[in-house]
Amino acid sequence: MRYLEQTADTLQQRIGMVNAAITDLTYANMTLDGIATEKENAELLVPIGGNTYVKAKIADTNKIIVGMGAGVSVEKTLPDAKVTLKERLDELEKTMNAAQQQFSQVAERINSGRARLESMLSQAREGKP
């Protein structure tokens, strides 16, 4: 039972991390949608953390720097960057669905195990072997 509960906790943490990544990519995609409608040298506020912003101007609305992982970033056109984000979102949604299914299966096994344990305890109290 403890192993199953630890597995459930791990899956919940994974679901939380994947959900955070989906939210992050969704915001990035919305930002790209907004940038697509802006002209060069348009002014915008860039968050720098702590609910603090700095004013910046867009030098080129069609060149987006996309992180590829392991500290590597690549310059892409706006449409290509949107495709990359969409692919990542699709993969994360698949990962989320798989983790949720695993969590449901583990939760079922936990509930089944608890029911069996309660039945055994009940029988033990009644003096049945």
Q: Give yes or no for residue 34 having a pLDDT over 90.
A: no
Give yes or no for residue 30 having a pLDDT over 80: yes
In whole angstroms, what is the distance from residue 96 CA to residue 84 CA?
18
Q: 3-state SS of 25-86?
A: HHHHHHHHHHHHCCCCCCEEEEEEECCEEEEEECCCCCEEEEEEECCEEEEEEHHHHHHHHH
Q: Does 129 have pLDDT greater than 70?
A: no
Maximal C-alpha separation, the chain: 82
For the whole model, what pTM was predicted?
A: 0.76
Query: First CA to last CA across the chain, in angstroms?
Result: 22
pLDDT bin (cut points 50, 70, 90) of residue 114 is: confident
Which of the residue ranges 31-35, 85-89, 93-97, 99-103 would you say has the lowest mean pLDDT? 31-35
112: helix, strand or coil: helix
Residue spans of the domains in the chain: they are: 2-38+76-125
Per-residue pLDDT tens over the stretch 36-85: 888 888 898 888 999 999 999 988 888 999 999 899 999 999 999 999 99
The DSSP letter of residue 126 is T
| Other CB atoms within 10 A of residue 92 CB | 20
